[in-house]
Structure 1
């Protein structure tokens, strides 16, 4: 039983990520825009992380202020950009396609790591990148008759979510050379909150935020698919190989698809399903360990649970 507990934890974390659309669409229907929803997520997550930090990780709270630029990279250039693109995509198209486009991040990581971190670009990575590109073309090239038909703008914004998530892998990898994962996560959300606060316009929506339903969605978004999912995924990742964890995490688009089908009565075309499967297969391929070797520990950040 102990051997499968990490797998269960990772599956639950991925399932919680798959439920994000419920909170995002609930807040959107309450009159909040995507940037305000991003502000809600990062600020509530920051509060929860600070409480956890002061009660359990006090030794991980101190940083060198001269390295604050590391968290500008993870918090502003990645988290804020990624969340805005992802939440916008969720509200523009089928939930399943928004999350699948998010899963293009390993392809972006492969390219960015090759360009900026000088990591090798072998055949397996190239195949995965090509598969991801073809999958995106299949998703984008099919027209639908329902109200959530795919548009070029929606696909570009969805790919922006994948790029933003990939940027966390680049900036986060550098930050992890100096700090523990909890420290990186806490200051990522803290810097994101401080940076967005003056521009989010959230103060003009105080009356909406005080509504019990909106408050429930807000707490749920900051807690369940953010803080709780992070700790479950991290705990599971510490006890299993990162490649296995990444494959198990593909539960996320499955849950997201079910949410779209069951709760929002969304429809999916056959060619779009093929494109989605192609992207998921590419994710699995790029995360398979090399023959006779496990993935290096430094690769773990590529699967960092900052979703």
Structure 2
């Protein structure tokens, strides 16, 4: 049963990540995107460590230090690379390249290094989901296809793909909560310099505190814990494709909360995303039904 719930954990994580854009839109105007990224990791890391301490799940026996540092570095790099790509190329192309490249890169990494060939269902799902992203973001604004921005967006996609792959190896031998607590605390330390470079006075305002807590606790701490929990029974390539529910959530929140308008092309993109994610989840649902049927027959 737990294995069949794994893709749902990842979808819930992606939905929480999808609230990031709406929350940022409500942040004080003086809050720089990179400063917000560093803040969410700091708050998320502290929240996770506090939870681990309260329930007593700290276990550092045989902890793989090199692997943990690499996972932390990957997550730390993702934040500035993604926000920088968006600022250079615009939201549309930066988001599409970063989020769209992550599933492909994740599948290729698994194929090349773990010798796990992606299934036909995964290829079909990833193709539909990426087409959905292109339709959803492709006509948002005039874009600037700056090579540096595109490279940064690809770097962000690669960073997330590596993070997902490494995290899956960590949760195989350690609790999901301990893994995300350690990784995000180290990531926050690596990005702590940004907290001194940018103006952080906004964080003392009522809105600043609310945005920091929402992004740190919900969109980072709880979301990445759910993602790590799902990785126990789901391959990293499948997990990264499922996270494309993030732009789907962001688009719908933009419509219903921020009052944004989506044209027919964007709604078509939402449909493609739903189809892509749906066919990837279906095998898990089918296997669950088969197990339940076999138990009844016994």
> TM-score, length-normalised on structure 1?
0.69
Aligned to 1:305: none
- Look up the match of 2:296: none
Does the 8 Å contact 1:104/1:132 carry over to 2? no
| Contact 1:30–1:214 under 8 Å retained in 2 | no
8 A contact 2:81–2:153 mirrored in 1: yes
Aligned counterpart in structure 2 of residue 202 of structure 1, from 196, 201, 205: 196
CA contact (8 A) 1:106 1:283 kept: no
8 Å contact from structure 1 (residues 250, 280) kept in 2: no
CA distance in 2 between partners of 1:100 and 1:270 (Å): 22
1:211 aligns with 205
Match status 1:169 vs 2:164: yes
What are the within-5 Å matches in structure 2 for residues 99-114 of structure 1?
A: 102=99, 105-114=102-111
**Cα displacement (A) at 1:270:** 3.1
**1:185 equivalent in structure 2:** 180
Map of 1:152 onto structure 2: 145
2:20 corresponding residue in structure 1? 20
Distance 1:286 1:88, change over 3 A: farther
The 3-state SS of whatever aligns with 2:22 is helix
1:125 is matched with 122
Corresponding residue for residue 281 of structure 1: 275
* In 2: Cα distance, 1:172 partner to 1:88 partner: 24
Deviation at 1:55, TM superposition (A): 0.8
Shift in Å, 1:253: 3.9
Query: What is the CA–CA distance in structure 2 between the aligned matches of 1:248 and 1:286, rounded to whole Å?
Result: 8
Give, in whole Å, the separation in 2 of the partners of 1:241 and 1:229: 17
**Alignment deviations for residues 130-170 of structure 1 (CA, whole Å, 9 cap, x no partner):** 44555555567x545xxx44443577766654433222221
Does the aligned pair in 1 maintain the 2:102–2:240 contact within 8 Å?
Answer: no
Q: Distance in 1 between matches of 2:7 and 2:173?
A: 29
Aligned partners of 1:125 and 1:286 also within 8 Å: yes
Q: Aligned-pair distance for 1:176?
A: 2.9
Q: Secondary structure at the match of 1:205?
A: coil
- Aligned 8 A contact 1:99 1:253 in 2: no
Contact 1:12 1:229 (C-alpha < 8 Å) held by counterparts: yes
Tell me the number of residue pairs that the alignment of Structure 1 and Structure 2 aligns: 278
Q: Secondary structure of the residue that 2:26 maps to in structure 1?
A: helix
1:255 paired to 2:253: no
Native 8 Å contact 2:17 2:219 kept in 1 = yes
Structure 2's unaligned 5+ residue stretches are: 289-298
Structure 1 residues 243-272: Cα deviation after superposition (integer angstroms, max 9, x where no partner)? 999999776444321222244443334334
In structure 2, C-alpha distance between the alignment counterparts of 1:281 and 1:106, rounded to whole Å: 16
1:17 CA drift (Å)? 2.6
Which aligned pairs between 1:56-95 and structure 2 lie closer than 5 A? Answer: 56-60=55-59, 62=60, 64=62, 67-77=64-74, 79-87=75-83, 92-93=90-91
**Contact 1:38 1:80 survives alignment (8 Å):** no
Q: Name the counterpart of 2:295.
A: none
C-alpha displacement at 1:187, in angstroms? 1.3
Q: For 1:112, what is the secondary structure of its paired residue?
A: helix
Change in 2 beyond 3 A, CA 1:220/1:129: closer
Cα distance in structure 2, aligned partners of 1:108 and 1:116 = 12
CA apart distance, 1:119 = 0.5
Contact preservation (8 Å) 2:72, 2:184: yes
